[in-house]
Structure 1
């Protein structure tokens, strides 16, 4: 496959024949939007076809191998970790968590299944106390510092009207990690599993909990403030609007989502981690060392796209098998439609990844924004921008990793532009074959 060296302003990297439009789009977005540093990487049929990165302010320390916090995109890494136990016959999604973790039973949690946890239906979206940063270090996790807190939690659901599904933004990863280490024959954490069975064999730069050498390659994330985002949305696109949505679009989304967020159990809980006051907290070295799989994984787009390529290919890339056929199929089975917090229709599989489907005439504005341009992908996305998804039918592994967080872009639509363009490129290639 021919690779074209890109030379679009600050953008560096390569695109394969048929995917050149991604380079032009990436350059346009980097030039126009409120971006700092970003990476975009795509695999098709097991081959890397897009490998782009850019630093708007010419940061000499940012490159294609820089590691960035991918926030909730890490949820798909933890889903793969749990699926590996299913792949090995050590765990079932319909098993009760308490079957493997007897102390989990209290507070109404005794009937919670593995699938409930992975679908955000465990009733544990927020805890009644904050945990310490030291509790998140692997040795302390193994000493049950975090597990002891989870065992004391009482199951809470919002209301019968909104259903069981409520986004476990941080807590799903903590629960999954405790389950994983109890079932894994070696007693490893998810971070240790990712290092030994995903990152190393696949040669993919992904990590949950960073070591000293990895810490040297981390790029800080930076929040685009609420006020700056709103002001930017007032400018028409033809005059260089620096955010994806205009003011009317942004308000329509805010008015739909904010009431649900205010009514959620997580909104009433204390901060998940003691001392956590804002997004910059995630730039703290101590935070980066700990394991919060659902909100604190670090990766490059190259690393994520390689893992996504493995998932798009059925659990195996080149000669490396991360999931066998049974485990891969189980992870993707039983997508259950339900509105997250009563607002956005999601289709989480029993393995904990969302299935994105074509929109229908009955789809709401948010559902169209969520799915349109992502049809056929599985996976999830991270707070403010990152996307880690795969498309088994089209054999696409996709990753977008920015350092500038647009928190009001709830559905990561600025990154979805690249997904939609990749689907067009693949369709054109297949049409001409």
Structure 2
């Protein structure tokens, strides 16, 4: 069913485009309400069920900081956005697929592939520790400048030289940015290819995904601008956010806390709309995607997509959804659950059900798969909230998907 310019009384507020399969209309309705009630600027959502696309919607303006005088460029069918930490799930798939192909041993020390890494007491850091946020390296001894953060050298070199914050493997804490530099060095040491190139050649191209870690110059015209937006008071609540959660807020305000240091490994914060930032390969937070591509990627992790390509073998799928870390997070403070590179369903990151795995992006975007229902989900937005996980807009869409599951 096509969803076009006339969707009833809401048409004057938001012009939703795309398609919805019969029975999935509640997802469209929730998407509309995000614009009406939750201050959405521009966004897209896509859902796959049993390998087939059942929801593909977009609306609003391409740029979150666009003028409100009617001249803003509309979100188009091929508009993509930076998805921040939703990138981590795609990067994790690279390592799991290399393991599936016999190229990486998850229980091998990282130094097996990256000898310089064993310095300063890191001889026993395993590959699985990197993926499960158990390496003890969520912060840097010295923050990097924005230029250093994207030069492909400074981040991995700093991590190789420094000592872990805790005994690796004994605890977990969200590696906000360092996750990306760790994988950005590990993967080329094993394959001779960067993470971005590997994703392009082994995942995006076979699946036909508009998804990049390192945006090509000839695709830059499709990508909108992101900007912080305030949530309407009536829609407040939900999400693991730095402000509503008092303990997290207190930790973040303390300049000496691990929370503040982990979120501040790049100082000053980079301009995520900068073309140089978007072109750099940043497996922790720099991925750019459409909602359609994010959902299709996750669909391929749990089954055949449109009767064709599949990414994960059954054993690899089990690895992706098996809990590796759980309990109080030394960076996010509240309890979190992680598998091998993926966040797992739980109070901090509510997904579709107990078996769901995926990854949110701080500010809103989200991708995940739920093997138990054969569902894959992708949501991309240009309006960034303060929350780390469980964005109210994404949660409203998940509830709608759950209502038709």
TM class, shorter-chain normalised? 0.7 to 0.9
Instruction: Rate the CA distance shift 1:118–1:133 in 2: closer, same or farther, 3 A.
Output: same
Q: Secondary structure at the match of 1:52?
A: strand
Structure-1 separation of matches of 2:334 and 2:79: 33
Q: Is it true that 1:50 corresponds to 2:55 in the alignment?
A: yes
Instruction: Rate the CA distance shift 1:158–1:417 in 2: closer, same or farther, 3 A.
Output: farther
TM-score (norm 2): 0.87
Deviation at 1:155, TM superposition (A): 1.0
Instruction: Rate the CA distance shift 1:293–1:110 in 2: closer, same or farther, 3 A.
Output: same
2:334 aligned residue: 344
Q: Which runs of 5+ in 2 are unaligned?
A: 62-67
Q: Which runs of 5+ in 1 are unaligned?
A: 234-240, 358-366, 427-433
Q: How does 1:209-288 map to 2 (within 5 A)?
A: 209-224=214-229, 228-229=230-231, 232-233=232-233, 241=234, 243-245=235-237, 253-261=244-252, 262=254, 264-265=257-258, 267-268=260-261, 271-273=264-266, 276-277=268-269, 281-288=271-278
Deviation at 1:308, TM superposition (A): 1.2
Structure-2 separation of matches of 1:83 and 1:145: 25
Instruction: State the superposition RMSD in angstroms.
Output: 2.8
TM-score (norm 1): 0.81
**More deviation, 50-59/165-174:** 50-59
- Contact (CA 8 Å) 1:37, 1:55: kept in 2 or not? yes
2:307 paired residue among 315, 318, 323: 318
Aligned length: 386
- Contact (CA 8 Å) 2:349, 2:389: kept in 1 or not? no
Instruction: Rate the CA distance shift 1:382–1:219 in 2: closer, same or farther, 3 A.
Output: same
Structure-2 separation of matches of 1:389 and 1:39: 15
- Contact (CA 8 Å) 1:174, 1:294: kept in 2 or not? yes
Q: Secondary structure at the match of 1:388?
A: strand
- Contact (CA 8 Å) 1:354, 1:379: kept in 2 or not? yes
1:157 aligned residue: 166
2:322 aligned residue: 333
1:68 aligned residue: 81
Deviation at 1:135, TM superposition (A): 5.2
- Contact (CA 8 Å) 1:400, 1:415: kept in 2 or not? yes
Instruction: Rate the CA distance shift 1:329–1:129 in 2: closer, same or farther, 3 A.
Output: same
1:180 aligned residue: 187
1:5 aligned residue: 3
1:403 paired residue among 382, 385, 388: 382
Structure-2 separation of matches of 1:146 and 1:40: 33
